[in-house]
Amino acid sequence: MLLTIDVGNSRIKVAVFEHNKQLDFFIFETKEALKKFENIFKKYSNIEKITLSSVGKLEENVLNYIKNSFPTEIISHKSAFPFINLYSTPETLGIDRMVLAAGATLMYPNQNRLIIDAGTCITYDFVNSKNEYLGGAISPGIKIRYKSLNDYTSKLPLLELDETNYLIGDSTKNAIHSGVVNGVIFEIEGFISQYSLKNQDLTIILTGGDAIFLAKRLKSTIFANSNFLLESLNLLSLYTHQK
């Protein structure tokens, strides 16, 4: 039994796997981490291994508690990955992006893959059919776009995501919603279109906290999975064990 942990910028996601089958899933704020892990470890006392990736901050006492409870592998740039990393600055490539690229490589063999992670930032990562990671793009996520409009203007309000489904905003509030949501959709569709023109047999994976919201609005054929990083950690652990 494997426990996978994804420490993000704002929340922690945890999943329990038995081989490729997900048995359970948890999501919580970083400040709740210690108590939540205590409860999870009591429920699943037969965990054989923990695989963890982090782009956020995990308090040292929480990390020590995890490491002292079960054998723990923390994914780093030195970990084994199933692709050739051709990024010109590999040491700056986010661990989350590397894990997602690994998951796409293992789950969709012999294909060109574009992984779009719609979270705090929106990241685009491309792995070709030769299992070469070439890079991608990073842009502000939905929440950052709303916040920046409020931070860098004197009169625009701070709004939160809603079920916007219109192009023309008939008020300042609706204009902001239209600009943010449609701007993200047009951006993603544009990236997909350009990658598709240059790469045949392109598999597109959409993940992250805003994946389900965006998937309903995108015209392109995609695989939407908001927890693809946790599944990728499981696949990466199995891959490492088999090497």
- For the question of residue 151 being annotated catalytic, the response is no
Contacts of 176 (CB under 8 A, 6+ apart): 146, 149, 156, 157, 159, 169
Where in the chain are the domains? 2-74, 84-234
For the cut 90, the answer to whether the pLDDT of residue 241 exceeds it is no
Cα dihedral: 38, 40, 46, 51 (round 10) = -100
Within 13 A of 110's CA, how many CA atoms are on the CB side?
0
Three-state secondary structure call for residue 211: helix
State what percent of residues in the chain have pLDDT above 90.
Answer: 89
The pLDDT value recorded for residue 243 is: 63
- Please determine, looking at this structure, whether the domain spanning 2-74 carries the CATH number 3.40.50.150: no
For the cut 80, the answer to whether the pLDDT of residue 242 exceeds it is no
Mean pLDDT (whole number) for 139-157: 97
| 84-234 CATH | 3.30.420.40
For the cut 80, the answer to whether the pLDDT of residue 9 exceeds it is no
Q: Report the relative pairing of strands 112-118 and 49-54 from DSSP bridges.
A: unpaired
Mean pLDDT (whole number) for 180-188: 96
Q: What is the pLDDT of residues 30-62, one digit of tens each?
A: 999 999 999 999 999 999 999 999 998 889 999
Do residues 81 and 236 lie in contact, with contact meaning Cβ atoms separated by under 8 Å?
Answer: yes
Mean pLDDT (whole number) for 9-19: 91
Contacts of 41 (CB under 8 A, 6+ apart): 47, 69, 70
Catalytic residue among 6, 96, 117, 210: 96
Within 13 A of 169's CA, how many CA atoms are on the CB side?
14
Query: Are domains 2-74 and 84-234 of this chain identical in fold?
Result: yes
- The Cα 50–Cα 59 span in angstroms is 17
The pLDDT value recorded for residue 10 is: 77
Confidence of residue 220 (pLDDT cuts 50, 70, 90): confident
Q: What is the pLDDT of residues 73-86, one digit of tens each?
A: 999 999 999 999 99
pTM, 2 dp:
0.93
